[in-house]
Amino acid sequence: MPTAPAYLPPPPDAEPAAPPAPRTPLRLLLTVLELAALGVAGSTVVGVLGGFAGISFGLLFVGVGVVFLVGLVYALFGVAWFEIARLNGLYGFALPALRWRPRERDGFVGWLLALWRQAYNGRMWRALANVAIACFFGGLVLRLFSWFGWSAVTAFLPLFSTGDADTGWGTKYPIAWAPLVGGLGALVSIAGILGIALLHRVISRGIVVTPDRTLDLTEQVRTSTAQRAGAVRAADVERMRIERDLHDGVQPRLVSVGMTLGMAQQKIDTDPETAKALIAEAHTSTKAAITELRQLARGIHASVLDDRGLDAALSALAGRSPVPVALDVRLDGRCSRDAEAAVYFTIAESLTNAAKHSRAGECRVVVRVRDGGTLWARVEDNGVGGATVIAGGGLDGIGNRVLAAGGTIRLDSPVGGPTSLEVSVPCAS
């Protein structure tokens, strides 16, 4: 099935407003304090992760190392997530939180593939590189703090000492120079601390922020292209379906009505009773054609969806289904028209397939609005399974329609059943 990218930068109006970044003096102070904390704890964290990695690779030959490698990936992900959250809080970068790569397949194999894709996630490794640099800067900040303390003591050395002052490198200088040496040392250390704090922001923007912005723009272009292609493909599939339904259903019935009325016209003078019967037959066929046209129009546009919302539209859809449907819809409000239409027609196609092909005895439909403003639906039947996507078919059409709305769709239909179809569409699509 065509799917949207796993990582989509959310639209600006869908993201909560980022907390305002601290003003420059406070931000510099917080940066210095955070770097000092990383200088203290960073070496410990790096040492633990390095030791963990060594144990993992060392035990690979007995198989136990695989378990340690899995834990290492989760630990690295946690450190990278914390780093992005730290940068957002400190500098107000408003970067999207680091998320675990979603599964593209079910079961243990799907989990392993998601773990592998997370292990080479470039965004995670850029954040880890920034952590390593911040820890190195933190060590420098701690040394500069100690130098500042030494300089402060040196500046006041003449107050409690009379001999020559010691530089600490085995040389001495006159005690009268101590205030000048101490003052210059204090200024240099403070300047070094502030310079490292400013450099940390520049490097963080270059390593973590700039690539993310570039990837966001690239991903948005790719997603827009995919959505446009999906919309074009969905329109083509829908047009072919309408043509097929008209050609195979309504058109032959209307031709039959015309022929029946023609025969009735020929017999109306010679055999009025037969003519009446033919006219009654044409009348019945005309009503059936009108019903088919209404069903065809309902497949193109569901007016109840616009008038009363997705809950009412799905209730009407479940009521018309020949297969019993257990409907569980919990929505707090309305989503966009495109999102509701994509979910509605996905469920409609699934119920149609369940009635025509799966020999299902019942269906279950669940619809929710999940965190992040995503309209999610799942349709499951207890049929024989084996559903596949055929080019130009109904599943192909709804797949492209969901893709055009910026969503994802997943079909799971093993032979023997059951069949489940999940769709997720941004509410603001």
Q: Could you tell me the pLDDT band of residue 419, with boundaries at 50, 70 and 90?
A: confident
Same domain, 227 and 116: yes
Same domain, 212 and 337: no
**pLDDT of 283 higher than 50:** yes
235 CB-near residues (< 8 Å, 6+ apart): none
pLDDT of residue 45: 78
Same domain, 332 and 228: no
Same domain, 64 and 207: yes
E-state strands within 53-104: none
CATH of the domain at 412: 3.30.565.10
Same domain, 100 and 229: yes
Kindly report, residue by residue over 365-409, the tens digit of the pLDDT.
Answer: 898 888 767 888 899 888 888 777 777 666 777 777 787 777 888
Residue 324 domain boundaries: 307-429
Flag whether 164 is in a domain: no
Same domain, 228 and 334: no
**pLDDT of 137 higher than 80:** yes
In 3D space, the residue among 416, 384, 423, 371 whose CA is nearest the CA of residue 400 turns out to be: 423
Flag whether 245 is in a domain: no
Which region among 58-67, 72-81, 233-242, 250-259 has the lowest average model confidence (pLDDT)?
Answer: 233-242
**pLDDT of 10 higher than 50:** no
- Count of Cβ atoms closer than 10 Å to residue 406 Cβ: 23
**pLDDT of 11 higher than 70:** no
Same domain, 95 and 214: yes
Mean pLDDT within 53-68:
70
User: Which residue has better confidence, 361 or 227?
Assistant: 361
Q: In what order do the strands lie in the sheet with 419-426?
A: 325-330, 363-370, 374-381, 419-426, 408-412
Same domain, 205 and 319: no
Residue pair 380/364 in contact (Cβ under 8 Å)? The answer is yes
CA atoms of 85 and 79, how far apart (whole Å): 10
Same domain, 229 and 314: no
Give the number of domains in the chain.
Answer: 2
Same domain, 363 and 229: no
Flag whether 22 is in a domain: yes
User: Which residue has better confidence, 60 or 355?
Assistant: 355
**pLDDT of 227 higher than 60:** no
| pTM of the predicted model over 0.95 | no
CA atoms of 129 and 121, how far apart (whole Å): 13
- pLDDT mean across residues, the chain: 76
E-state strands within 83-223: 165-166, 172-173
pLDDT of residue 192: 92
In 3D space, the residue among 27, 232, 204, 45 whose CA is nearest the CA of residue 133 turns out to be: 204
What is the share, in percent, of the chain residues with pLDDT greater than 70? 74
Instruction: Please report the DSSP string for 3-26 in residue order.
Output: ---S--PPPGGGSPPPPPPPPHHH
pLDDT of residue 1: 36
Kindly report, residue by residue over 289-310, the tens digit of the pLDDT.
Answer: 676 666 555 555 566 677 778 8
Kindly report, residue by residue over 149-184, the tens digit of the pLDDT.
Answer: 888 887 777 777 766 666 666 666 677 777 887 888
Q: Could you tell me the pLDDT band of residue 89, with boundaries at 50, 70 and 90?
A: confident
